[in-house]
Structure 1
Amino acid sequence: MEAAGDAVFCLDDRGRILYVSQRALEFVGTGVSIVGWFLSELAPLSDRLIISLAITQALESGRSGKINTRINTRKSSMWFELQLTNYVTPEGTTALLVVGRDISVQQDTEERLRHMATHDALTGLPNRSLLSDRLQMAIAQAKRTGRGFSVLALDLDRFKKVNDALGHLVGDTLLRVAGERLRETLRNVDTLARVGGDEFVAVLPGAVSEAEIQTVARRMIANMQVPFEIQGHTLYVGASIGAATYPDHGDDDVKLLSHADTAMCHAKETGKARCVVYNPQKFNQQEYDVSMEAAMFDAVRNGEFFLHYQPIVDAVTCQVLGFEALMRWMRPELGPVPPSQFIPMAESNGLINLLGAWALRSACMQIKRFQEVAGRPLYVSVNVSPRQFRNDQFLGVMDNALSMSGLVGSELLLEITEGILMSDPEHAEAMLNQISSRGVKIAIDDFGTGYSSLAYLKRFPISTLKIDRAFVQDLPESVKDAAICNVVLSLASHLNLSTVAEGVENAAQLEFLARQGCTLIQGYFTGRPMLPEAAITLLQTAAVPAPSLAKRVLAP
């Protein structure tokens, strides 16, 4: 026993120490003899009952036992693994041999691993995993007590700028200090977690009114606005906060975190350094947009997009000269999605490049079939978004569409907005010159509703102006709209540009525009957007407004 590297104790049938090895004495370091002590007296008060029960059980059962407990040493309380084994003394009584092995290092390692699994390595705050557990506990407690709680999502303002300019070491120090400051503003019962980057989440039990939430939020924001002195730099950041409450804004941890994060993003977008409480009526549209965007990616794979074709007719003879290709989306079981919803979304998420390429290719191939049915030339007008126009691959996409369809360049009209020209004039000029060199024509869509800079009419190779429906719908009664249309038509005539009036819905509008020199007409009066089969029928039957209309237009 003395040669063993472990601590060895011999106990009587009551748990008193009969013998203790020198190694055990070194560990305990009491400076006095411990023979006659109960073994449990060497442990902290919280562990004494565990040791006493283990001794009793081992003696009564006659089986060996093992427990992990702490033993008070001269420096601190160390973890030991105690192996209890029955034996019979020379006097014939039952006793215990207890071998204690120091497992403090092992216990410390396990504790560190447990802490690392549930806490952020940089700030020492709970991480997303522990936050989820705390939220579930808060929900369970709220169900028992009937008292709700709030979740605050906080994001540091201007942190990325600091991190990019001064490096990660300064950024990491800033995050640690920010975590300490935020922790100081909260109660002991509150939870503060770092969930990634410069994002923190606080859980406030019992705080559900907006006044309570705003009080805590103002304290946190004020603490973040105090300058940070880090590695010789004086740094100014701030914080934007979004809040959601249980159960009003979510009945599980995922919804609460999502809604708090949505409110926080709104706080950043509307001025920063403020707290926004989630409002279902206000933010449901954002959730709808997210689900709509996901559905859009599925729709591309499932072929839910298609093209309608709206006739463009001669303003005098009403003969169909071309069609504008208009993209449509039909969601299964939900019906059509307005282009005003999905086109801006496709522009923002990058899908417009894929959709635009498909639309351009499909429209060119379809107009070729229309030409075969009509037995005469027809052109197709296709809208080009800003993102498409700036894409380096656009010219290749256009060339491919013309090549595959067999159209010549003059049978394709690309519609662009004024904003494309003005946002980067040098790039626009280079692109338009290359497009024009292929014979493709260029139209300015919704002319008069954007920048309306006359300089680009001289600088860029533009062939057509499209008069927006906003200036057509009140013709001919509106004096102001009539004046605007007259000016545009006169300008186009002097610059030798074609004109297309959009949104023509009755004969009076058509007659007015034709008399003022408008070249082409597009609108419900001469044809709604239609599927290719309907367009073919239109071409075969020449089902356009009666020829008498042309006679009235041409009459003196």
Structure 2
Amino acid sequence: MTAQLELEMLPRLLLVDDEPRLLSSLHELLCERGYTLVTAQSGAEALAHLVAQKFDLVLLDLRLPDMSGHEVMDFINANQIGTDVIVMSGEVGIEAAIGALKRGAYDYLRKPYSREELLKTVTNALQQRRLEVANARIASQLENSEKLYRYLVDSSPDIIYTLDHEGRFTFVNDRAYQLLGFSREDLIGKHYAILIHDEDLERARYVFNERRVDERASRNVELRLKCHNHPGADRTFNNTLMTISLNSIGMHVPDRDVRKLEFFGTYGVARDITERKHAEEVINYQAYHDILTDLPNRMLFKDRLGLAVIQAKRKAAELAVMFIDLDRFKLVNDTLGHVKGDELLQQVAMRLKQCLRRGDTLARQGGDEFTIVLPELRDRTDASAIAEKFLECLHQSFDLDGHEVHISASIGIAVYPVDGETIDELLRHADIAMYQVKALGKNGHAFYHNSMLDVSRQKIALEQSLRKALDNDELEMHYQPQIDVVTGRIIGAEGLMRWNHPQRGLLTAGEFLPFAEENGLMLPISDWMIKALCRDMQIWNAAGGQSIRLSLNLSPQYLDRGDFFEKMRGALVRYGISPAQIEVEITENICIRSPQYAIEQLNKLCELGVSVAIDDFGTGYSSLSYLHRFPIHTIKIDQSFVREIHDEHGHYPVILAIISIARGLGLHLIAEGVETEVQARYLRSHGCVTMQGFLFHVPVSLAAFICVLEEHFAMPDAENNVASLQA
């Protein structure tokens, strides 16, 4: 019987979390403290326990499978269930914390929390609960026991005090000494102003002279109190005040004949909310600042820009808004990882801040985008000078744990009121100007002009048309032959996409694919390209054509998609195409994004029988070790290197190095963009015998390509074949 009684006296805790491992870990941690523990993995299970049993404390996760933790707290409050709640959540938003505190949560712990933090919070909550229970019990015995009354007051976690009608302390409990360092002897008979922070004296004058006794009395007024012998360590208190009268001090009911109670003094309770205020300040700061760079975020930037616009309008002055986008940041992120990318953003923020004037605001818009407001602009040269300073400071290399990184920036500038009179207009126009810089080669700045808006609208119109191009059957494949210059035979062709635009005519891939990549259209376009290539190959095979190999460029976005291999295999089966007739071209930067995943996907293609070529070799940033790891059959020399060949007896080390690499690894080699006899002779003399380019043939439609092939294979003389193609 005694053991049962002791068990019932142990604090009873309800642990609510839908994550079994976290719940088990929490149970094991608290079990060692001697508590009676009950667990629940859903909101419904928690509500059932709350109805069936009494709990001293609930440890509640906000994310539950069937309802939120806030709804559980609403149930507790609605049914007046006498339990305290500690909220534990991984949510970083301020709304979750505010919602929990508004619903009466004792505390809010953000996951992951430390063992010590949890145990301390649980201990404090249970201790406070015990004190509250003790206070209630002692209050009921107050009339019969002064000793119990004194214990209640001095054991309170709050400062309890009384003032006379002139504002002098007549009583204060021991908590004042524990929190502020002032003893009873220091305060009794002294005016309350001795404790009040100088800046809060005016507000305190109303609070400490409170004479009202009903709901109108001052409640939850926040004041800062001084700490004895601790300069700079002021604490914030929440004061709940009520007026007491001579007739009610003994808790006696006043005589019905008494019409007016004589004012005796003020009774008050002051609760230390310093830690809560600090937590609120942190939450408020984080709500308006970027956690990574500590810069103002988009919300705060718009607020400051709005104030700057009002000020500029009042003074009839100009201001500038800058939109900065980092060039090559995505490459750094893909190459070195997001951690190093975050470090780069932090270093960029520090450099940009050093270029600002007093009163300027730099904010992080998101990702690798920053915005700046330059108030009180004298003229545009001020904004141009600051933009140049930004570009200059970013030109210096960045050190990321031994990795030397170089980036630049594209900066767009909009000026108030010429380029817009509202926040949204200025930001939108600065953004448009930034994209204009991007289009012209990046690494520069430009002021917004109305003509840019027309270009932007044309881009939007082009994007909308491109979305309809697939449905309207406006896309087609053109083919550029690949020639073996030794035999003169066409051994393959590269498939190049073209768009028959209703108004603008035939567009090359470079004129519309960048829009497709930016707007998420590469996946459906790549699906179409695979089907079109196989369909065209089927037409050639059905015409009795000799076996040649067609190649197509594969977007990195498409390779990243998990089902691209199935798409390829399905198209080959559907059109009856031999996998050996297809070659997939990838850029070497595809190796950087996710090397192991890329290897797995390309190995599947090779097992199917499809060959793999690296396009634009030598222009990327991947390690040569990838050539050993990746299932590669062909290397294509980029046309930017071929264009440099002006003398067939000259020395072009990059070309020679690529040829040597291909020969050493036993890989097939193709030179792209061959346009002159000098280039062809130089390449052939040094071992590259497969070429494509305008010297031999321009890309042509399927019908024209079939005619070229029919004529070519009908001519037995190889030299005549080459001559006809060059013609």
Is 1:195–2:352 an aligned residue pair?
no
Aligned to 2:176: 24
Is 1:305–2:473 an aligned residue pair?
yes
Indicate if the aligned counterparts of 2:213 and 2:243 stay in contact, CA closer than 8 A: no
Which amino acid is the alignment partner of residue 285 of structure 1? V
Shift of 1:191: 1.2
Cα distance in 2 for partners of 1:307, 1:170 equals 40
Is 1:353–2:526 an aligned residue pair?
yes
Which amino acid is the alignment partner of residue 353 of structure 1? S
Which 5+ residue runs of structure 1 have no aligned equivalent?
309-325, 372-376, 405-419, 430-445, 470-487, 502-517, 519-556
Which amino acid is the alignment partner of residue 273 of structure 2? I
Aligned with 1:51 (options 204, 219, 236): 204
Question: Cα 1:358–1:289, aligned 2, differ >3 Å: closer, same or farther?
Answer: farther
Aligned to 2:426: 256
Cα distance in 1 for partners of 2:395, 2:439 equals 18
Indicate if the aligned counterparts of 1:142 and 1:149 stay in contact, CA closer than 8 A: yes
Aligned to 1:113: 283
Cα distance in 2 for partners of 1:234, 1:447 equals 35
Is 1:204–2:382 an aligned residue pair?
no
Cα distance in 2 for partners of 1:61, 1:232 equals 69
Aligned with 2:227 (options 52, 56, 73): 73
Aligned to 1:136: 306
Indicate if the aligned counterparts of 2:397 and 2:407 stay in contact, CA closer than 8 A: yes
Give SS of 1:8's match.
strand
Aligned to 1:183: 353
Shift of 1:187: 3.0
Question: Cα 1:180–1:359, aligned 2, differ >3 Å: closer, same or farther?
Answer: closer
Question: Cα 1:88–1:274, aligned 2, differ >3 Å: closer, same or farther?
Answer: same
Cα distance in 2 for partners of 1:251, 1:136 equals 10
Indicate if the aligned counterparts of 2:538 and 2:576 stay in contact, CA closer than 8 A: no
Shift of 1:7: 0.7
Q: Which has the higher contact order (CA 8 A, sep 6+)?
A: 1
Shift of 1:114: 1.3
Cα distance in 2 for partners of 1:30, 1:467 equals 93
Shift of 1:213: 0.4
Cα distance in 2 for partners of 1:344, 1:450 equals 29
Per-residue Cα deviation, 1:58-82 (whole angstroms, up to 9, x for no partner):
5386743311222222332211110
Give runs of aligned pairs for residues 76-475 of structure 1, distance below 5 A: 76-89=233-246, 92-156=262-326, 172-207=342-377, 209-225=379-395, 239-264=409-434, 266-267=436-437, 274-282=444-452, 284-297=454-467, 300=470, 303-306=471-474, 336=503, 338-340=505-507, 344-346=511-513, 349=517, 350=522, 351-356=524-529, 387=553, 427=634
Aligned with 2:187 (options 12, 29, 34): 34
Indicate if the aligned counterparts of 2:167 and 2:191 stay in contact, CA closer than 8 A: yes
Shift of 1:83: 0.6
Give SS of 1:46's match.
helix
Question: Cα 1:201–1:12, aligned 2, differ >3 Å: closer, same or farther?
Answer: same
Count of residue correspondences: 431
Cα distance in 1 for partners of 2:346, 2:378 equals 28
Per-residue Cα deviation, 1:528-554 (whole angstroms, up to 9, x for no partner):
xxxxxxxxxxxxxxxxxxxxxxxxxxx
Indicate if the aligned counterparts of 1:304 and 1:329 stay in contact, CA closer than 8 A: no
Per-residue Cα deviation, 1:462-502 (whole angstroms, up to 9, x for no partner):
9xx87899xxxxxxxxxxxxxxxxxx99x98965669999x
Which amino acid is the alignment partner of residue 200 of structure 1? F
Cα distance in 2 for partners of 1:118, 1:291 equals 36
Aligned to 1:532: none
Which 5+ residue runs of structure 2 have no aligned equivalent?
1-152, 248-260, 477-496, 578-612, 618-631, 637-672, 701-710
Which amino acid is the alignment partner of residue 22 of structure 1? D
Which amino acid is the alignment partner of residue 110 of structure 1? E
Indicate if the aligned counterparts of 2:499 and 2:507 stay in contact, CA closer than 8 A: no
Is 1:7–2:159 an aligned residue pair?
yes
Shift of 1:115: 1.3
Give SS of 1:305's match.
coil
Cα distance in 2 for partners of 1:78, 1:277 equals 51
Shift of 1:285: 2.2
Per-residue Cα deviation, 1:74-102 (whole angstroms, up to 9, x for no partner):
33221111011121136943422110010
The sequence identity of aligned pairs, in percent, is 26
Question: Cα 1:187–1:65, aligned 2, differ >3 Å: closer, same or farther?
Answer: same
Indicate if the aligned counterparts of 1:58 and 1:65 stay in contact, CA closer than 8 A: no
Question: Cα 1:427–1:206, aligned 2, differ >3 Å: closer, same or farther?
Answer: same
Which amino acid is the alignment partner of residue 212 of structure 2? L
Which amino acid is the alignment partner of residue 387 of structure 1? N
Indicate if the aligned counterparts of 1:467 and 1:499 stay in contact, CA closer than 8 A: no
Shift of 1:234: 7.5
Cα distance in 2 for partners of 1:4, 1:294 equals 69
Indicate if the aligned counterparts of 2:412 and 2:435 stay in contact, CA closer than 8 A: yes
Indicate if the aligned counterparts of 2:327 and 2:410 stay in contact, CA closer than 8 A: yes
Give SS of 2:553's match.
helix
Shift of 1:343: 7.7
Cα distance in 2 for partners of 1:40, 1:110 equals 27
Give SS of 2:349's match.
helix
Question: Cα 1:267–1:236, aligned 2, differ >3 Å: closer, same or farther?
Answer: same
Question: Cα 1:339–1:159, aligned 2, differ >3 Å: closer, same or farther?
Answer: closer
Which amino acid is the alignment partner of residue 124 of structure 1? D
Indicate if the aligned counterparts of 1:10 and 1:19 stay in contact, CA closer than 8 A: yes
Indicate if the aligned counterparts of 1:240 and 1:274 stay in contact, CA closer than 8 A: yes
RMSD over aligned Cα, in angstroms?
5.7
Worse-superposed segment, 177-186 or 204-213:
177-186
Worse-superposed segment, 447-456 or 266-275:
447-456
Cα distance in 2 for partners of 1:461, 1:220 equals 43
Shift of 1:127: 1.8
Which amino acid is the alignment partner of residue 222 of structure 2? N
Cα distance in 2 for partners of 1:228, 1:37 equals 62
Cα distance in 1 for partners of 2:534, 2:510 equals 18
Indicate if the aligned counterparts of 1:217 and 1:275 stay in contact, CA closer than 8 A: yes
Cα distance in 2 for partners of 1:234, 1:422 equals 26
Worse-superposed segment, 126-135 or 137-146:
137-146
Cα distance in 2 for partners of 1:421, 1:125 equals 42
Which amino acid is the alignment partner of residue 77 of structure 1? D
Worse-superposed segment, 358-367 or 230-239:
358-367
Give SS of 2:155's match.
coil
